Amino acid sequence: MHISEFQQLIRDRYSATDAARGAAGTFLWFAEEFGELAEAIGHHLRGDGDPGNLREEFADVLAWLATLANITGVDLTDAIREKYIDGGGPKGTK
């Protein structure tokens, strides 16, 4: 699946509820999911993680990022292309 296809899948499934929640409310959900990913990574690093949960949390973070992009009118494929491909990549170190 391409990023654009995933972003469209999220738009098709959730656009009505996402629009009603708005960018601020969606960002709070995104932050919560980001925290759950941090916890899953911590468990993974300690050796007591659940690989399935780790994958789920990565997927959730990506879905909420796509939701934020949809709400704010950002095409993730275009944004990635502009910054990392056409623009020669980010300046400095990552």
Per-residue pLDDT of the chain (94 residues; tens, 9 = 90+): 999 999 999 999 999 999 999 999 999 999 999 999 999 999 999 999 999 999 999 999 999 999 999 999 999 999 999 998 997 777 767 6
Read out DSSP for 23-44?
Answer: HHHHHHHHHHHHHHHHHHHHHH
pTM of full prediction above 0.85: yes
Closest C-alpha among 69, 49, 72 to residue 3: 69
Read out DSSP for 2-28?
Answer: -HHHHHHHHHHHHHHHHHHHHHHHHHH
**C-alpha to C-alpha distance for 74 and 7, rounded to whole angstroms:** 10
What are 55's two structure tokens?
């994958």
What are 86's two structure tokens?
């056409």
- The reported pLDDT for the residue numbered 94 is 60
Residue ranges of domains in the chain, CATH in brackets: 23-86 (1.10.287.1080)
- The reported pLDDT for the residue numbered 90 is 74
- The reported pLDDT for the residue numbered 9 is 98
